[in-house]
Structure 1
Amino acid sequence: MASQSAPGFIHRTYSPRLPSAAALLPYLEEIDRNRWYTNFGPLSRRFEARLAAHYGLEAERVTAVANCTLGLILVLDSYELPQGSLCALPSWTFVATAAAVRQAGLVPWFLDVDSQTWQLTPEIVEAALPAAPGAVGAVLTVAAFGDQVDASAWAAFRRRHDLPVITDAAAAFDTVTPASAPAVVSLHATKPLGIGEGGFVISETAAQGEAIRRRSNFGFDQHHAAAWRGSNAKLSEYGAAVGLAALDAWPQTRRAFLRLGENFRQALAAGPGGFELAPPFRRSAVSSTCNLLLAHPRAQQVIAQLHRGGIEARQWWGGGCHAQPVYADEPRQPLPVTEDLARRTLALPYHPELSPAAMAEIAGALHHAVAQPAG
């Protein structure tokens, strides 16, 4: 985000733009009239209904939450898995995925990803299951950088193994496929549909949606007794107001991202190469990040060179979760693809406010940096 960018960059990795004050005003005035600020207020329920309609679902299957991480925890909790059981997940993901597993009382078990999709696949999990260092309670797959997950393949996996499969669809607002397994979407400011902080859960059934809603309110049942382990994960009416205004503008927002993607692909193609577009960026109609795969394992060198030219590049997922100190001792399978991606990937500045001239400047700097000899 812009607030996290180091000073001096001409082009920042991301420049969020949420709905304007004018767009928010009618919703804020409604909150003033209602004097209902949280606890499943009318704006929050309307926001959920509109999200459900967007995906062609019954409203009860969508639950708005304070952020995507809490949504993942609630979904994992809804299966009431034995505490301490393993949750298989890719190491190639943002640390929030692993944090949710830990906070749900499960043990992250890090697996590798497919080199073509950058995603955990049913085949990878099935090959690893015989070597699992304990009982496996669930699988948490990730829609890498907003790419689409193969929902039918995971549904077949679930039938074969009777294991819950949850999708961390944080960046996949435009590509998530509601299916028989739950998915959690982020509404963070850096995502295609952003409200600042927030998210929503797409449940597999209305009954699971109700269970997640109750868990998001301290686990209270209809008698206000804490019947389940819960948390305070509700989205406030103010968050819902931003969400409703963001949905109002979504057709224009989506068109802006589509134009950005097409223009940026053309700018990057006008050079000698040395890299390719990441699979999620090639396939996703709307992406809020532009990741590249370098031909050679020197991402940090290229990033340093771009920084010297005032261009903020970064590695969104670093070396993978297993490389983070807090997760270094968690069980894992061999991770050759993840470790290769960690050495070869980087993200460029990417947001709808970039002008064609800025895109050409960024692409030119990238081509120059990639052409430098390895240091």
Structure 2
Amino acid sequence: MNVPLWLWLATIGGLAAIILADLFLVDHKPHAVTAREATRWVLFYVALAVAFGIGLWFFAGGQSAGEFFAGYITEYSLSVDNLFVFVIIMAAFKVPAVHQHRVLLVGIVIALVMRGIFIAVGAAAIHAFSWVFYIFAVVLIVTAVNLARQGTEHDEEFKENFALRGLRRVLPVTPEFHGARSFVKIDGKRWVTPMLVVMFAIGSTDLLFALDSIPAIFGLTQEPYLVFTANAFALMGLRQLYFLLGSLLTKLVYLSYGLSVILGFIGVKLVLEALHENNLPFLNGGEPVPVPTIGIAVSLSVIVGVLAITTVLSLLKVRRDAAAAPAPAADEVADDDRPAPADVPTTAPVPAGGRPDSSHS
């Protein structure tokens, strides 16, 4: 797929325009997002992704469109898993409901920029060294095993990562929120507020999760443009999904198992493709190994099928056994518009989510 520079610029410009429009709406009238409003926004962003995929089909062919949809669905499903962590971060920092949308939007913009850099580095590495596929495959398979071991258990505590601790050491942080402001001047001294810290927490934590989600999408397509756009559409719709799902997150009790199967499947797919295009001198004399490869149609079917089965089984499990779904970690936070108390945490427990902690992230 030959992607000219003007198309890259037009795509990034279009995404930036959508984000700026969204940010304007948030700042114009800050409010707690309702389920109905979140539903409309989720449908809007999903429709954008579908329209983009149809455009790819028309201009670039079914193969590119299929790779985009497979990557988008995979990234979106892995991003849903991130929401467990976002709920815990919001609770740890006691973010007022009226400001949560802004926090997620800016945090996800930070994440998208950092993911863009990560994608560029990954694409360059794959282009230069074919054996990188083996490394990606190992990362995915190890993560899949850890997810399967984790099962239905989710930690409910948050621990600030290295980047956040560094931020606190460098910048003075006020003990309480000051509305939606990220910077304030007190007694002639400029301070940052917990608003900026929690935005950075969302963005930096998402980058840790990208350590397995980016290799996963490279297992479905090696085209950087498709990798970037699939990530962009998944992340842009993620914050609205946060408000829409709410307590439903805790009902997806088998999500970790489903994601484990998907990551394991993509890991095996990567190994087969690496063997099929082998040029390592110590393996089969540097010649390609005659192994079957998995097409994008099969990959898309497996991803959609696993997610559907996981969702149905989770809902059936919770319906039969209400105790299987733990209480949401941030129920009280969603309704709390009050400023945080003076003891905003400087340290706290390890990020929890459907995936393992920062070792995988």
TM-score bracket for the superposition, by shorter chain length: under 0.3
TM-score normalized by the length of structure 1: 0.22
Give the number of the structure with larger relative contact order, counting CA–CA contacts within 8 Å between residues 6 or more apart: 2
TM-score normalized by the length of structure 2: 0.23
Q: In proportion to residue count, which structure has more strand? A: 1
